[in-house]
Amino acid sequence: MSRRFLVFDGDGELVATFAGWEDAHSWAHLRSTEPASIGPVQVEDRAERRTWTVDGPQCRLTVWRRQVEYGYCAPPEPDPGPERSLSFDPPSAPPPGTVGPRPRSRPRRQVTAS
């Protein structure tokens, strides 16, 4: 039997797994009332795409949006091999630990409208 109900603390850490909803739900309420627990506690059912957020005596159900596929990316190109090596020119930058271009020493000329 699979353990499809996953229980997470408020910081996203997986703290328990359960095969049945009632066990996961009861345990999440107990966990959320513990003083050392980071809340809110969440119970996820990835098979039905639902999350219950448990905070003390209250819980809220969130139903996930269904995934919509808009298309696929192109497959990666094959390895070029030794006959077609690609060269990489890194961008020019000052060496590490040095300062960039010097600031302007003279003030910019201001233009006044007449």
Mean pLDDT of 63-82: 73
Question: Where does the pLDDT of residue 79 fall: very low under 50, low under 70, confident under 90, or very high at 90 and above?
Answer: confident
Of residues 73 and 11, more confidence is placed in: 11
The DSSP call for residue 83 is: T
Q: Are strands 58-63 and 14-18 parallel, antiparallel or unpaired?
A: unpaired
Instruction: Give me the pLDDT at residue 43, please.
Output: 95
Using a cut of 0.75, tell me whether the model's pTM lies above it: no
Q: By the 8 A CB rule, do 6 and 46 touch? A: yes
Q: Residue 42 forms beta bridges with which residues?
A: 8, 53
Percent above pLDDT 90 for the chain: 31
Amino acid at 66: R
Identify whether the C-beta of residue 41 lies closer than 8 Å to the C-beta of residue 58.
Answer: no
Res 6 pLDDT > 90: yes
**pLDDT level of residue 94 (50, 70, 90 thresholds):** low
pLDDT of residue 5: 95
DSSP state of 71: -
Q: Where are the domains of the chain?
A: 5-63
